Chains A and B, each alone.
Chain A
Amino acid sequence: MEVFIAQVINGISLGSIYLLLVTGFNLLLLVAMIIHFAYPQVVVLSMYIIWLVLGYTGNNLLLGTLAGVASSILLNLISAPLFQKVMEKRGEVDINSTMVVSMGMGMIITDVLSHGFNKGHPIAFPDTLAGGDAIVRIGLISILPGQVYAFGVGVVAVSAFFWLLYKTRPGRAFRAIAEDPSGARLVGIPLLKTGLQSYALSGLLGGLIALLLAALLGSASSALGEQVAIKVIAVSIIAGLGNLVGGLVVGLSLGIVEAVVQGYISGTWSNVIAFVIMLVVILAKPNGLFGLKI
């Protein structure tokens, strides 16, 4: 029982990261109308930038945080023209072509990280960011500060995101475009400008995720983005592409399943088991557990 509780706690913090990633991915899918497969890779690039800034500033956490968030927003915004060029005739062009652009971007990021930073070795974040010792420890159950941050920031970020989506003018425009892009255009919602706002917002989310990943894992490698990217797109498809609420539930569940499997079987099997479960689900429900929203 103790193992189970301990692993569920681990799973919740990991799941918080997955659900934030899926939310950013779905936002881009719904509003910018792109499949940004490499969104997690952009997040990992921001982790490297946080690491660089921490190194140069003698572990100044404030500057590191700002650099993470700013770089993530900037990376998202500068990639926008690339996607929009592909999407120019968005009525006619297959949305899948944006996925190819994104995958290319992801490969470039992975290669740059593995050649350009720290001689290709994984990077380690300082303890000040990772948070150091456990806050609570009862037998096998321990709660680390990074886990508390991940869950806490996850709850706050998701609440703020849904507040923005349902209570503000840009959020209303996001939902309108998600439901019917040409209808939104007819009532005078600027698709390009609103699309850019969604790039910026998913960039903001990405910056927060980069910080949480750094705090939770304490390290990063150039291959991290790709591993996570596959899970994020899997979660999005299992939940139902574009289904925001479904993404929250499935993202959190994946984190818990992975952690519990790690607790009872072996860490090396957790991916296999998680993907077998997802395979079964997608065979039974091809439109995802919660239904497609695009």
Chain B
Amino acid sequence: MEPNEATTAQPTAPQPLLALENVTVSYGHVNALKNASIQVFKGEIVVLIGANGAGKTTLLETALGINTPVSGRISFKGEPIGGVAVDRNVRAGVCLVPEGRGIFASMSVLDNLLLGAHNNMKNAGKHRERVYEWFPILKKREHQIARTLSGGERQMLAIGRALMSSPELIMVDEPSIGLAPIVVNDIFSIIRMLNQEGYTILLSEQNANKALKCAHRGYVLETGTVALSGTATHLLNDPGVREAYLGA
């Protein structure tokens, strides 16, 4: 279990879009992340695999600026962002689609989208048109209260809201949780489509099989440390991963 193993098996791209180096985050006396290092390069889909409580959400939220690391470095496009306020990171191009979507249920679909553009209102109209092109159902539901949306529609709204901030890196926390299998397939095709449109994606998933089939590379988190990393194919064929996360 080498903490730095993650950095050894990288493609030769010069500078990662997002890099965490030996990041430790603690909640009181509990270390939620211990010396975790990951890198995400432009154009990639990277997936974090791990059980409940392995630190996936903590890692994503730390990259967004919710938690300040006790030690270690976080950088986005080479700039250090450890401990920087969330709204500044969102402005810089990082965003998170939270687990359980984080939709504002009492507000309209349009209001939810505009909240995503809070720091970028100038381009809100343009971005909204693109979101409606990709998710026509959201245009149809524009003035409905978000509470009335189905699970899949809420996930689309949460992704659409993220796109409103004109991000470069979209982090998606547990996109498949609570969704019917057929809808899960839709969500993963949306993620692939966004990646082809040029967005870099960092996912966290308990549904390791589907996530690895969609991703380029992955990291396995165990109790706050990076236990294993490699290309998605490598991880899919790893006996340990197969036994622990793929049920094989």
Q: Is A185 an interface residue (CB 8 A)?
A: yes
Q: Is A127 an interface residue (CB 8 A)?
A: no
Q: Is B111 an interface residue (CB 8 A)?
A: yes
Q: Is B125 an interface residue (CB 8 A)?
A: no
- Would A187 and B116 be within 8 Å (CB), given that A172-B111, A175-B111 are in contact? yes
CA distance A183 to B100 in the complex (A): 10
Q: How far is the CB of B26 from chain A (nearest CB, A)?
A: 15
Q: How far is the CB of A131 from chain B (nearest CB, A)?
A: 41
What 1/0 flags go to A169-194 for Cβ under 8 Å of B? 10011011001100111111110000
- Would A183 and B102 be within 8 Å (CB), given that A169-B121, A188-B87, A188-B165 are in contact? yes
B86 touches A186 (CB 8 A): yes
What residues of A have a CB within 8 angstroms of the CB of B105 in the complex? Answer: 179
What residues of B have a CB within 8 angstroms of the CB of A173 in the complex? Answer: 115, 118
- Would A169 and B118 be within 8 Å (CB), given that A186-B102, A188-B87, A188-B95 are in contact? yes
Partner of A186, one of B96, B111, B114, B119: B96
A188 touches B104 (CB 8 A): no
- Would A176 and B104 be within 8 Å (CB), given that A186-B64, A189-B87, A189-B115 are in contact? yes
Q: Is B107 an interface residue (CB 8 A)?
A: yes
B118 touches A187 (CB 8 A): yes
Q: Is B91 an interface residue (CB 8 A)?
A: yes
Q: How far is the CB of B160 from chain A (nearest CB, A)?
A: 12
What residues of B have a CB within 8 angstroms of the CB of A169 in the complex? Answer: 114, 118, 121
Q: Is B106 an interface residue (CB 8 A)?
A: yes
Q: Is B154 an interface residue (CB 8 A)?
A: no
Q: Is B161 an interface residue (CB 8 A)?
A: yes
Partner of B91, one of A176, A179, A187, A188: A188
What residues of B have a CB within 8 angstroms of the CB of A175 in the complex? Answer: 104, 106-107, 111
Q: Is B85 an interface residue (CB 8 A)?
A: yes
B102 touches A189 (CB 8 A): no
What residues of B have a CB within 8 angstroms of the CB of A185 in the complex? Answer: 66, 86
Q: Which residue of B lies closest to A189 (CB)?
A: B118
Within 8 A of A (CB), among B105-137: 105-107, 111, 114-116, 118-119, 121
Place the interface of chain A in its size category: 10 to 19
Q: How far is the CB of A71 from chain B (nearest CB, A)?
A: 31
Partner of A176, one of B86, B98, B107: B107
Q: Which residue of A lies closest to B158 (CB)?
A: A187
Q: Is B63 an interface residue (CB 8 A)?
A: no
- Would A180 and B102 be within 8 Å (CB), given that A188-B119, A188-B165 are in contact? yes
Q: Is the interface of A mostly helix, strand, loop or mixed?
A: helix
Q: Which residue of B lies closest to A183 (CB)?
A: B102
Q: Which residue of A lies closest to B85 (CB)?
A: A190
What residues of A have a CB within 8 angstroms of the CB of B201 in the complex? Answer: none
Within 8 A of A (CB), among B70-118: 85-87, 89-91, 95-96, 98, 102, 104-107, 111, 114-116, 118
A179 touches B86 (CB 8 A): no
Q: How far is the CB of B97 from chain A (nearest CB, A)?
A: 9
What residues of B have a CB within 8 angstroms of the CB of A186 in the complex? Answer: 61, 64, 66, 86, 96, 98, 102
A172 touches B115 (CB 8 A): yes
B64 touches A179 (CB 8 A): no
Within 8 A of A (CB), among B38-67: 61, 64, 66
- Would A179 and B90 be within 8 Å (CB), given that A169-B121, A172-B111, A187-B161 are in contact? no
Q: Which residue of B lies closest to A293 (CB)?
A: B106
What residues of A have a CB within 8 angstroms of the CB of B64 in the complex? Answer: 186
B104 touches A179 (CB 8 A): yes
What residues of A have a CB within 8 angstroms of the CB of B95 in the complex? Answer: 187-188
Partner of A187, one of B85, B90, B106: B90
CA distance A176 to B116 in the complex (A): 11
What residues of B have a CB within 8 angstroms of the CB of A187 in the complex? Answer: 90, 95, 102, 115-116, 118, 161, 165
What 1/0 flags go to A227-261 for Cβ under 8 Å of B? 00000000000000000000000000000000000
CA distance A169 to B107 in the complex (A): 13
CA distance A62 to B91 in the complex (A): 42
Q: How far is the CB of A221 from chain B (nearest CB, A)?
A: 41
What residues of B have a CB within 8 angstroms of the CB of A172 in the complex? Answer: 107, 111, 114-115, 118
Task: Mark A residues whose CB is within 8 Å of B.
Answer: 169, 172-173, 175-176, 179-180, 183-190
Task: Mark B residues whose CB is within 8 Å of A.
Answer: 61, 64, 66, 85-87, 89-91, 95-96, 98, 102, 104-107, 111, 114-116, 118-119, 121, 161, 165
20 contacts between A and B (CB under 8 A): A169-B121, A172-B107, A172-B111, A172-B118, A173-B115, A175-B104, A175-B106, A175-B111, A176-B104, A180-B102, A184-B115, A186-B66, A186-B96, A187-B90, A187-B95, A187-B116, A188-B90, A188-B119, A189-B87, A189-B115
Beyond known contacts A175-B111, A187-B90, A188-B118: 13 more, CB 8 A cutoff: A169-B114, A179-B107, A180-B102, A183-B98, A186-B102, A187-B95, A187-B116, A187-B161, A188-B91, A188-B165, A189-B118, A190-B85, A190-B87
